[in-house]
Amino acid sequence: MLEKIKSIFNKKSKPTEAPKKYLSCEYVQHGFNVDYEDIKMCCFNCHEGGGRQILIDNYKGEMIDWNKFFKEKRKMRELNKQGIILERCKGCFFLKEREWDDEDYINYMVFNHWTQCNCKCKYCFTNEQSDYFNQRKNYNMYPVIKKLADMGKIRGGGEIGFGGGEPALLPEFEPMVNMLLDCGCDNIRVHSSGVKYSQAIERGVSEGKLTVVVSTDSGTPETYENIKRVNHFNKVWENLAKYAQAQTDNKYKVKTKYIIYPGYNDNKEEIDKFFEYTVNAGIRSVVLDLEGGWYEQNKYNVPDYLYELLDYAEQKTKEYDMKNVEFYDRASHMRIHKEEYKKLRENAQANQQNS
């Protein structure tokens, strides 16, 4: 693995004496992302370098030699110490200049290794080959992670994420979450469709160590069904209310998410109803985003009404006194680059008129 990593680092950087503080990130130091066909460094891809560096190609759940893995992590750390940054990390807002420890442990993990789901969202990456993704056999990670746990190399203080696919459908999901909680993981994030209720999610929420994020993207059954192509609107909100009841005081561990999907839910009325359902379910925590595939194709040309809609949703969070509001990658990117991209659009329009 290392030779491959080295070959894609920016070789133009000149190694210097290792500074005490250096530019690196949690995933380079102590993390990985288990994807459905390989193991990657992380799951981020909105920045210039594109992220998602592959660490182990064509992975199918084989036992990992963790000692070797840590040895290679140490070598990557040394490269960062010398000011050498992975090309794929270029421009990533997770890069930080700070002191990093030199210990071998994992506290950042993302699990995305299965693709079966009980929704059929139009925007899902599985959409174009839904039969293939729903039937493909996923591999098991529990024995691989259990070995890491038995070595005492899993720690809290980081972040564990579950995506997929629908995690609650995964047979190893409940034992995996329970094992991670038992290992002291105190910040687990599960992205769930919310269709199937999970006792392990409930346990994590009640202990204040697990956040569940359910993307309803709607406040009406019609819009829900139009996007998700299943009729579980009421079931999902019932499950959300049940998870919310398991929360302990001042821990806003149950979140609803609204992904603005141009052409489907990009209006204020739907957003209003989404907030009504959220509040009625006892939830005070939301996530806002823009649909990723659409954004990738249009990010330099996002129309003004979508910026306004994002502002409108943010204003709603204030009206409803939401205690925790998050903007995921695309929405953050939009907010950061709003003025810059506006100028680009104006210049392009001016050039068109002059030509």
Binding site for ligand SF4 (CB under 6 A): 25, 27-28, 41-42, 44, 51, 86, 88-89, 92, 94-95, 117, 119-121, 124, 126, 164-166, 193
Beta-carbon-side half-sphere exposure of residue 46 (alpha carbons within 13 Å): 21
Of the two residues 24 and 278, which places its CB atom closer to ligand SF4 in the complex?
24
Q: Which is nearer to ligand SF4, 222 or 308 (CB)?
A: 222
Which residue, among 128, 143, 181, 161, has the nearest Cα to 60 in the 3D structure?
143
User: What is the closest distance, in whole angstroms, from the C-beta atom of residue 115 to ligand SF4 in the complex?
Assistant: 7
In terms of CB distance, is 59 or 316 closer to ligand SF4?
A: 59
Q: Smaller CB distance to ligand SF4: residue 181 or 290?
A: 290
Please report how close the Cβ of residue 76 comes to ligand SF4 at its closest, in angstroms.
9
Please give the full DSSP string across 107-165, using - where no structure is assigned: EEEEE------S---TT-TTGGGHHHHHHSPPPP-HHHHHHHHHTT-EEEEEEEEE-SS
For residue 85, the minimal CB distance to ligand SF4 (Å) is: 8
Q: Please identify, using beta-carbon distances, which residue of 13 and 315 lies nearer to ligand SF4.
A: 13
SS3 325: strand
Q: Which is nearer to ligand SF4, 95 or 151 (CB)?
A: 95
The residues near 39 (Cβ < 8 Å, ≥ 6 apart) are 32, 33, 54, 55, 56, 59, 64
Q: Write down the least CB distance from residue 8 to ligand SF4, Å.
A: 12
Q: Which helix (H) or strand (E) holds 258?
A: strand 254-260
Whole-number minimum distance, CB 91 to ligand SF4, in Å?
A: 9
In whole angstroms, how close is the CB of 41 to ligand SF4 at the nearest point? 4
Q: Rounded distance, CA 193 to CA 232, Å? A: 10
Measured distance CA(345)–CA(309) in Å, rounded = 18
